[in-house]
Structure 1
Amino acid sequence: MKPVIFIAAIALLATAPGRSQPLVDPNKVAPEYREAAEKRRAEQLRQRECALKADLEKVLLRDRTAFLNQCLETTAAKH
């Protein structure tokens, strides 16, 4: 049993961490898609802002999704 756990631990340590999605740059897309890219970038900025709020308020991982959804809803209601 120990070799299986050891191999699993090595496999987890060897994998690269997931990267977040980079911000969309509306200037680097075709002109016909620029408006959609601007909307996507605005949404990404709102999501990052809410994630930062969650980090600053030290929201538990189990409560993070609910916090982010509520934050995004209140942000959308303001705009």
Structure 2
Amino acid sequence: MKQAIFIAAIALLAGGPARTQTLVDPSKVAPEYRDAAEKRRAEQIRQRECALKADLEKVLPRDRTAYLNRCLEAMAAKQ
């Protein structure tokens, strides 16, 4: 039993910390996919802005998805 706990502890420590998804860099993408990469980067920036607004307004986790959806729809309507 102690060996199993020891192995599990080692396995947990060996795994690195979870990282968030990085922004797409269109300059590092093949030219034929650059337009799609630019669109994806713009979408990621909009999502991060809405997430930051949710954090600043201290939106509860249970309401966060609805808040983010409304925020993204409002940003799309402005454009």
Q: TM-score, normalised by structure 2?
A: 0.79
Moved over 4 A (4+): 13-17
CA–CA separation in structure 2 for the residues paired with 1:43 and 1:25: 13
The equivalences for 1:28-43 within 5 A come to 28-43=28-43
Matched, 1:48 2:42: no
CA–CA separation in structure 2 for the residues paired with 1:16 and 1:62: 28
The equivalences for 1:15-34 within 5 A come to 16-34=16-34
1:17 deviates by: 4.3
- Indicate the RMSD between aligned Cα atoms, in angstroms: 1.9
- Percentage identity across aligned positions? 77
- Give the corresponding residue for 2:58: 58
Q: List runs of 5+ in structure 1 lacking aligned partners.
A: 1-6
* Aligned CA distance change for structure 1 residues 41 and 58 (closer, same or farther; 3 Å): same
Q: TM-score, normalised by structure 1?
A: 0.79
1:19 deviates by: 1.7
Q: Provide the aligned length of Structure 1 versus Structure 2.
A: 71
Q: List runs of 5+ in structure 2 lacking aligned partners.
A: none
